[in-house]
Every structure is written in structure tokens, then in C-alpha cells.
Chains A and B, each alone.
Chain A
Amino acid sequence: MAEQTSVPRRGPGGGHSPGPRAVEKPKNFKKAMGKLVLFIRPYIALIVIALLFAVAGVVLNLLGPNVLSDLTEVIQGAFVYLPEQGLDLALPMDTAEVLRLCILLTVLYGAGLLCSYIQGLIMASVTQKNSRNLRTAISRKINLLPLQYFDTHSVGDVLSRVTNDVDMIGQTLNQSVVTFVTAVVMLLGSVVMMFVTNWVMAFTAIGASLVGFVFMFLIMGKSQKYFARQQRYLGEINGHIEESYAGHTVIKAYNAEGKVKATFNEINYRLYKSAWKSQFFSGLMMPLMNFVGNLGYVAVCVVGAVLVANGTIVFGTVIAFTLYVRLFTSPLSQLAQAFTSMQTAAAASERVFEFLEEKEMADESGKTARLPADNVRGDVSFEHVRFGYDPEKIIIRDFSAQAKAGQKIAIVGPTGAGKTTMVNLLMRFYELDGGCIRIDGIPTNELTRENVHDLFCMVLQDTWLFDGTIRDNVVYSKENVTDEEVVRACKAVGLHHFIMTLPKGYDTVLDDKANLSAGQRQLVTIARAMIENAPMLILDEATSSVDTRTEELIQRAMDTLTVGRTSFIIAHRLSTIRNADLILVMKDGDIIEKGTHAQLLERGGFYAELYNAQFDPA
């Protein structure tokens, strides 16, 4: 993929795109938030401090208008101009008081700035660190979950929890928690301040703003259905586009362009109809908010002016109220926004915690049995093994077999016969439902998983390499590996020459651009297995995705690898496993035959059929 479609582009201001978007509702808001609070516990003290600063900042801002009102009074006190009464006086200005009030205001605003910045700093740090902890927790969790989880969940699903959901939590927490608290304080504070200053004016301001808000909510309530409709059509058209692009060749080959286009046009037109309406309504928000603000402003001015003219209040009060009205109207809309984004955060944290609460693999710290990797004979025995991916559907019913140290055990069968099941069981990726597998007489479930893994090198069908140098990929997690060992392993698999032709040799970074063929990638994983140097070996159809020539190379590399190791080989080709010491024939998930090549041929069963068919002239 050239770009990731699932991750929304993020950038400055990317958090809150204005305009309509579907609000994701959490299943259980309280529970989700509760878990989030529990997780964020180490930072609670900091958050409380941040909130205190936020409240302090708000209070300081609320005090501003009052001081400004006093300032106005002082200035106004410097003249009397009442033309009707013929009064035109210029009195001396109380400059000391002006200076005092101005400095007081400067201090107030300065302190307000400081408080809200400190609050911002703390919250930014807390949310980012919390995001980091969440990501770490998810990543740790990945290593603790049984393999079954990954066989039944998509990679994209887990990935989107690590990035999108965690980001979402971080962003909304940062914005909404503080907004929520400050908005509430601001709202209550401005109401209190207004009433303290003058109750008539307070009623005027609040009344006018509320009338405006009711009006606004009436309109916005009507618009909800257009948002929902646009969202639905948008989903519909995106689905159609995806489907059409993915099925491009079929559409062409079947001359279906006409119909596809007609469907597209029909949905597109419906979308257009609802899109302009919903755009229009979401565009209404701003002017309406402005109008509500202005309405309050005008009401305060007019009523205030009348009261001033009556001599009921001084002009400074009007000035104070013009500011209070703004302080009162803005938190109302902020509250609505904060609530929506908190819901989004709750939905995201629901997904994250769902993952974090998945059942983990059993704890193994109490296990004492241990097989050191450098001191293992490599006898493996299967005793009455019973297994099913779904306990209701047992696929391996009762399987027993013996593998002596150094023997070669082959597992054959048609595609989908469940050959990989054997790998899953040997490596203890899945637990048995009955019986046991013993290594040197010790049941594997008495060993730690880590210990079992240490005993095997594994080469899988799908070659797994990561973004890193060739050396990193060969060495992988093993420590204290010398360069000579890496070179020796690569020489053994016949890769050394090729690596040396690369401009940076072993330091060539394997990324999307690196030109390694499927076969060469497989050889790298075999070299990795050689470095691992465990006493036993699992090869899972390691040659199925490569051309015949490379296959020979890999075959040879694997032969070197199998020397002296108990090896389990899953293979397509019967010819390569003829000399195996034990052949397990699988079909429909179960092992239906076992024995040496000669024994199986003699029996004349499924294997014999498969084998003889090779020489069947058709």
C-alpha cells in the first residue's frame, strides 16, 4: 500500500475538524471512563494540580472585568459633560488610581496567563505520558496473549488500538477534561460575578443569551438528521468506490462500467443533496454563536445605557457586563463540544481496555523443571495427544509417536490437512486438550514456554523479516553473536556471495525497497535458525513459495541445518522426505497414518496412494 488508509492524517489542528462527523458512542460511558481513570491513577495528583491552576486562571480572568469597570469609573470621574444642564467640567484625573488599577489588571492577566500555561503544560505532559504508558501496556500485552488471539484477530485491529485509539484518548483527554472543568467554573463564575455586580443587568445578559441559545439549539436539533444522512451516504459511496476499485478487472471484463457508474451517480447525487444541507447547517453554528454573543452584548449595552442615564449604575458596570456576556456564552458551546469528545474518548478507551483485559497465557513462574538447550538429547514422544482449536471440535483424537534424538520426522498431507497444528503443539503455541508431549522424558507443559522455545529452531513458510540490516535480521534476538558467526551461517546457506554484492553488504537495510527475492528471504530465515543453534528443528513448508532453482539451494541449506538435530519437517515433496525416520500422514486435521516410508508403502494406504501417484502415467 502506498499509504495507510486507516490512519487519519494528523497534523496541526487535526484533532477537531470542524463540521459534521459521526459521534461514536461508547457502550458504557461510565465503565469505560472508570477504567481510564484507574489507569491514569499515577497522574491523578498532577491532574488535580492542573485543574487547580485552570480554575485559578478562570477566576483571575473573571476578576478582570470588575477591575476594568473600576478603571472606567475613575476615567469617567475626570469629566462631567451634561449639555442639557450646561455642565462641562474637566476634573483632575486620579492618575495614581489609574496606575494602580492598570498594574493590578496587568498582574491579574499575567497571573492568568501563567496559570493557564502551567495547566496546559501539566496536562500536555500527563496525557502524552499516559498515552505512552497505554501503548507500552498494549505492546506488553501482545506478548502475553495466547497465539489463538492472533489467529482469530486481524493485525489491523490491534494496530488501530495502539495508534488511533490511544491517540484519540490522549487528544480528547487533553482538551476535554480541562475544557469541561474550566467551562463549568467560567459559567458559574460569570453568573455569580454578574449577580454580585448588578442583578438587573445579570438577568438581561443571561436572558438574552439564553434566548439566543434556545433559538440555536432548535435549529441545530433539526440539522442532526442531515448529518446522519450525509454520514450514511458517505459510507455508502465509500463502500461502492472501494468495491468498484477492488473489482476493477471484473467490471471491465463484464462490461459492467455502465451499471457501476449509474449506481455511483445515484448515490453521489443523494450525497450531494444531503451534503450541502449538512454543510450549511454546520456552517450556521458560527454565525449563530456570534449572534448569540452580539445579542447579549447589545442587550447589555442598551439596558446598561438606560440604567446609566437613570443614574442607577455607573458606566463601568456596562463595560464589565459586555465582557461578562462573552465569558458567559463561550463556555456553553465549549461544554457541548467537550462532552462529545469525551464520548469519543470513552469509545476509544473501551476498545483499548477490551484488549488489555483479554485473557493471558497461564503464569509459569512456579515451574521448576528445566531443560538447558546445550544439554538436551532430543528425544520427543507424543503420548495420547488430544487437541482441537475449538474444544468442541477435537481434531487430533489420540496420537502417539516416538522420535529418537537426531531423527528426522516428516509431516505430510494435502493443503489444509492441519500440518501446522503439529508446529503449534510442539512449540506450545497452543495447549493440549489431553495427553502429553515429552522432550527427554519431561512433559513440555512442565517446562516454561520460554524453555521449550529455546529447544527449537524454526523456519516457517512465510518468511518474516523486519526493517533492519541483514545482520540484524540474521542475529535477531540472540546476544553476543560475532560477525564471523553471521558470515559462517550465511555462507552455509549460500547467501554470503549475494550479500557481498550489495552496496552495504551485511549492513544493507531490508525495507520495502530492498530487492530480496522470496527465496533469498527464506535463506535469511534459515541463517537465523542456524545462529539460534537450538538442539531441535522445525521446518514448515519452507520451500513452497520459491522457484525450483532456489528451492534446491534452500533444500541444501536445510540439509546442513538438520544434521545432528531432531527435526520436524513439513513438506510438499515426497521425494525429499523418503529417508525420514518417521512419516506422519495428516488429513482433515488428524494424523491418519504413521511409519517409515517403507512401512507406509507396504500398508498401501493414503500415503502409498499419494506416493505411487507420482509414477502414474496419466
Chain B
Amino acid sequence: MLRVFKTLKWREWIFAVLSVGFIVLQVWLDLTMPDYMEKITVLAVSGTGAGGEIWKNGGLMLACALGSALSSVVVGFFVARIAAAVSFRLRSRVFERVQGYSMEEINRFSTASLITRTTNDIQQVQMVISMGLQVMIKAPILAVWAICKVVARNWQWSAATAVAVGVMLAMLLVILIAVFPKFRRVQKLTDNLNAVTRENLTGVRVVRAYNAEAYQQEKFEGANLELTRTQLFTARAMAILIPVMTMVMSGLTLAIYWIGAYLIDDLPTGAERSVLFGQMSAFSGYAMQVVMAFMMLTMIFIVLPRAMVSARRIGEVLDTETSIRDGALTASPAGAPFGTVEFRHVSFKYPDAGEYVLHDLSFKAEAGQTVAFIGSTGSGKSTALNLVPRFYDATEGEVLVDGVNVKDYTLRALHDKIGYVPQRAVLFTGTVESNVAYGEKDGHEFTEQGVKDAVHVAQGTEFVEKMEGGYKAHVARGGTNVSGGQKQRLAIARAVCRKPEIYLFDDSFSALDYKTDRDLRSALRRETGGATALIVAQRIGTIRDADRIVVLDEGRVVGQGTHEELLRTCEVYREIAYSQLSEEELKTDGEGKDNG
């Protein structure tokens, strides 16, 4: 929580200090009001001064009320500025920090969790500051001050107030101890209920096929009943809160009057009695303030822990440094080859994981060559690709681009060489054009013609021009207004538009039908002839014409060579090939059929 306040700048600190000042003023005004009430009471009862004095004191009292409201508004203003500034800066810092993360940190937190931390958690902190800061400062001041005023008066009344506060605190304490743990349990049971329902929904075919509806229903009812029972307990326990509060407040007033009656009865003269009578009405005012102050204090104890959790979660993000360090080279050294990728005995494992995902992978893609990776899920083929743009760093061995270790380049320079197309196409809110001409590359201007050409290569011209607005057509958040295959083609166009030295296709063709797949690849070859390409694929057809195919199985290379070589020599490759042939429209795959 402390680090949250570290984001404050001097202006907000001044605001904070001023807030405290105004809160003190407000408390003083609030506590002065009963004094005027006392005077008015005495005046009214004694009939002295009649109208004038009463109006004067009334006016002063009203001024106090107004002053209290105004200072509270001023404090509200400061606090709102502070809260908004804190969330503004925190959000910006967290976002910046996450932007710098490598895949390793992203995976450690999970994307969903990072999103919650940047949105909900920060919002939570802002809320607590704006709602709570004022109360947090005010409650202790009010409590102490009001108690001081009360104690000076009369011990019997003070005792009554103390009892009232005691009753209330005791009740809150009981609730805190007995009910709060149940709230956590409610959350857990809700998750459980969710899990059972999710299970029923995701397995709906299995549930029906096994006629297990009743079985699932029974399971759900179990979870439902348990949840309801716990919720009944908490709801019933919480139901006592408000009635008791009302009771304490009314009871305290009653107690003060009751006690007051006997105190007054003990006094010998009418004058003394009238003074005490005036004090009695003032005292009930103070007593209310004391009770209110303690109520506010307990509220803090309820709200604060939640904010603390949020603050801690934000802190975790800010404290995590990215594991990828930037290199120093902004360009390849003179005379370096152009467009080569080489893996030298590369092994990779996730941090803290025991098993290697990649073992001793070595290969070289010369300029203009296509190297393909194939293997079953979990064989490490995507991982190999991720090492080139340094989404991860190799655990052992080195990855070289243009003869230089990728760790030596600045990330920016390295990424300028690369056109990466992910497995699941990612589109951003904007237009077709903004999605294709995406990002930056030193010394490269994105032109309108460049975008058109790139879309053409990616076989997207037809559908893009049919879209409303053509290249300026709106792309919704997450690209939900285009189909999967169209998304994938735009993602490929994005890479093409960049005119990179090296293409990285991470299983980027699988969302396309066979014909488009083939047309796209031949267009790519035609238009981007000089570029090197690393392709991860599932379909044999996609990669059979690659210059080199690397067959991976559980992270190990089990075969390297061309399609024909591998069919002859590599058992795993042959198995994959046979298992897939039913899916392949080999006939339409031109090159493959020549000697058929």
C-alpha cells in the first residue's frame, strides 16, 4: 500500500496536507455545532433574549454546518485529484512494465491476471483512496476529539457512551470473527458451483450420451445446497447489523436523557438544572459523533484489506523485471550475411521447469531459404520459432541472425529484420490499413500501395475490397468482424507489408483452406523471393517444398532434410505424413503431383 503513495508528486502531497487541514477544520465545526445547540436550548428554556440571541446562535450554527459541508467539498476535491492521479500513474506504470515483459513474465502471471491487475485492481485502489482517504483521516481525529469533549462533561454520560461504543464494537468484532471467514468460503463455494456448471456445459455431449443428466444435477444440487447454506448463515448474521446500529443510536439518546433526569433531580437550584438540561441536548449530539467515528473506523477495517490485496498484486507486477536484456547492436555489422538464421546447439526449458522443451537443436537457414518445423503438439516447434525474435532466450546454445547472436542486437533492430505471424492471428481495433501497416521499422515507410500489395500477396484483396470502406474498413476489437481465415490473411499481409529479411510463420496457414494456402504460398515465393522463412506447420502439404524440414519429437530433432529424404529415412515424418494424407488435397498441390 505504501508504494501506492510513492506515485504521488509534490502537488498531490500538498493536496494531501491541505486535506488534513480542512478535515481538522471540518471536525472542529462539526463538534462546535452541539455547543450552539446547548446555548439555544438554554436560551429557549430560560426565555432570555427571546428572538435575537436565538437567531444569532442559529445563524452561527448554520454557518458551522455550511462550513463543514464546504470544507468537506474541498477535501473531496483534493482527494479526487489524488485518487485519480494515483490510478493514472499506476496504470501507466503497470502498462509500461508489462509492455517490457517477455513471454516468460507474461506466462508467469497469465494474460488474464495481468489484465485484471491493470484494470480492476487499480480501479479498486482508486476507489479506496477516494472513498476511504477522507474517512481514514477523519475518523481517528473525530473519535479522539469528540471523546475529549465528552469526557470533560460528565462521567455518567461518558460511561453510557462508552457502553454504546462497546456494544457496537463487540457486535462488529463478533461479525468480523464469525462471519468474515464465511464470506471467503462463499467465494470458494461459488467457484465450485461455477466449476460444476462449466463441467456440465463443456461436456454436454458426454453428459447426454451417458444419460448422466440426473447425476450432474445431483452434483449441482450438492454444490448449490452447500453454497445456499453458507450464504444463509452470512445473510442472517449480517441482518442483525442495521437493527442493532439503530438500537444503539436510539438507546444512547434514551440513556442520556434517562441519566439526565436523575442528575437534574439531584441539583438544588433551577439555574443549575437549566444549565445541565442544556448540556444534555448538546451531549447527545457529541455522543452521536463518537459513535459515528467508531463506525467509520470499523468501515476502514472492512475496506482496507481488499485494497491491500489489490495494491500487493499491482506491486508484484511493478517488482517483476523483464528477463530479456536489450543488446547494443542497432544494425548488422558490415559484411555480415543478409537473412540467415542459425541455431547452434540450442536447448530451452522454461524457468523452474525440470524438463527441456528443446534439446540441442542445430540448423542453418541460408538467405532466401525456407526451413520448416513439423512434429506433434508439444514437440517444441513453436518454441524454436519464439527464440528468434527473443520472446524467450535460449537456455543453452545460441541463436544467430545474420551471423550475430540475437542477444547482441537491440530488440528494435532485431525486430526490424523480422516479419512474425503468430499461430492465432491478432488484429487490433482500427482499420484494415492500420492493421496491415502496423508498427514501425527504421528506414521503412508504409505506403498505401504497400498495403495493397501486401494484402494482394496474402490473398486478401477480394474480401478486403468487399468490406465496407475497403482498406479503410473498420476492424472491431479483437477482429471479431472478420472470419478466422480472413484474420489470418491480414496477419500475413502485416508481415509482408514490413518487407522483412526473415519471415516467421508460426502455424499461420492452418486456418486457411487448401487452395488459399497454396496460392498464398506461391504468391509469397514470387513476391518475396529473397526473404528467408521459418515455418511451423501441421500440414505436410504446407511444407513439402521447403528447402529443409526439421522433424521434432518431444523437443528432439529426429530428422532433417527435404520431404523426399525424410519420407525415406524418418519414421516419425512418415507416420505424420500418412496420418495426414487423408486431409490433404494433394492433387491441387501442384508441385507434388508432377511424377505421380
Contacts and interface: CB of A to CB of B under 8 A. Distances in A.
A273 to B, nearest CB: 8
B106 A139 contact: no
Nearest to B175: A12
B535 to A, nearest CB: 16
A418 B428 CA distance: 31
B268 A248 contact: no
Interface residues of A, number: 176
Interface stretch (B125-133, B356-364, B396-404, B462-470): B125-133
Interface stretch (A253-261, A399-407, A592-600): A253-261
B578 A616 contact: no
A618 B209 CA distance: 43
Contact of A163 (B190, B220, B583): B190
Contact of B69 (A81, A291, A532): A291
Interface string A270-285: 0110011101101110
A252 B45 contact: no
Nearest to B440: A255
Given A123-B239, A284-B76, A464 B213 contact: no
Contact of A454 (B95, B211, B268, B572): B211
Contact of A256 (B131, B262, B439, B564): B439
A132 to B, nearest CB: 4
B51 interface: yes
Contacts of B418: 253
Interface in A276-324: 276-277, 279-280, 282-284, 286-288, 290-291, 294-295, 297-298, 301-302, 304-306, 308-310, 315, 318-319, 323
A3 B246 contact: no
Nearest to B288: A326
Given A109-B250, A255-B439, A284-B76, A261 B210 contact: no
A89 B272 CA distance: 10
Given A271-B88, A466-B199, A120 B243 contact: yes
B347 to A, nearest CB: 20
Interface in A222-250: 234, 237-250
B211 A163 contact: no
Interface stretch (B60-68, B152-160, B328-336, B519-527): B60-68
Given A120-B239, A251-B439, A518-B377, A68 B264 contact: no
A12 B48 CA distance: 52
Interface string B202-225: 111111111111111100110011
Contacts of A573: 578-579, 582
Nearest to B94: A241
Nearest to B176: A12
Contacts of B33: 294
A247 B58 contact: no
Contacts of B99: 244, 248, 251, 257, 260-261
B70 to A, nearest CB: 8
A378 interface: no
B236 A3 contact: no
Contacts of B123: 234
Contacts of A427: 205, 208-209
B239 A121 contact: yes
Nearest to A248: B106
Interface string A55-72: 001000100100010011
Interface stretch (B1-9, B139-147, B252-260): B252-260
A129 interface: yes
B194 interface: yes
Interface string B486-512: 000001001000100000100000000
Q: Is the interface of B mostly helix, strand, loop or mixed?
A: helix
A212 to B, nearest CB: 10
B65 A79 contact: no
Contacts of B474: none
Interface string A119-151: 011011101110110011001101100010010
A243 B429 contact: yes
B119 A113 contact: no
A412 interface: yes
A18 B83 CA distance: 15
Contacts of B567: 617-618
Interface residues of B, number: 187
Contacts of A456: 209
A150 B76 contact: no
A588 to B, nearest CB: 11
A90 interface: yes
Contact of B269 (A90, A275, A276, A617): A90
A117 interface: yes
Contact of B73 (A237, A287, A309): A287
Interface in B556-592: 563-564, 567, 572, 575-587, 591-592
Contacts of B578: 573-575, 614
A165 B106 CA distance: 31
Contact of B88 (A275, A323, A545, A572): A275
B441 interface: yes
Nearest to A416: B513
B44 interface: yes
Nearest to B580: A572
Interface stretch (B273-281, B337-345, B365-373, B448-456): B273-281
B247 interface: yes
Contacts of A375: none
Contact of B265 (A93, A245, A290, A458): A93
A105 interface: yes
Interface string B74-102: 00110111011101100110011011010
Nearest to A531: B210
Contacts of B412: 255
Contacts of A127: 235
Nearest to B77: A280
Contacts of B14: none
Contact of A125 (B41, B236, B376, B389): B236
Contacts of B177: none
A264 to B, nearest CB: 5
B409 interface: no
Most buried by B among A76, A255, A616: A255
B578 to A, nearest CB: 6
Given A18-B131, A243-B429, A252-B391, A98 B261 contact: yes
B68 A239 contact: no
A116 to B, nearest CB: 4
A162 B180 contact: no
B209 A19 contact: no
A458 B246 contact: no
Interface string B301-338: 01100100000000000000000000000000000000
B180 A12 contact: yes
Nearest to B540: A618
Given A116-B243, A249-B103, A255-B440, A81 B273 contact: yes
Nearest to A552: B575
Contact of B205 (A113, A147, A282): A147
Nearest to A285: B76
A125 B232 contact: yes
Contacts of B262: 95, 98
B211 A453 contact: yes
A129 B228 contact: yes
Given A10-B186, A301-B61, A93 B429 contact: no
B13 interface: no
Given A112-B247, A128-B231, A477-B212, A290 B47 contact: no
10 contacts: A75-B257, A117-B239, A129-B228, A246-B478, A255-B412, A302-B61, A323-B253, A466-B203, A477-B216, A573-B578
Given A61-B246, A453-B211, 16 more contacts: A4-B194, A68-B257, A71-B261, A112-B246, A124-B236, A140-B217, A245-B98, A249-B420, A253-B420, A255-B440, A271-B88, A279-B83, A279-B130, A466-B203, A547-B379, A613-B584
7 cross-chain pairs, A with B, having the tightest CB-CB distances, nearest first: A254-B439, A120-B239, A302-B58, A477-B212, A287-B72, A276-B84, A124-B235
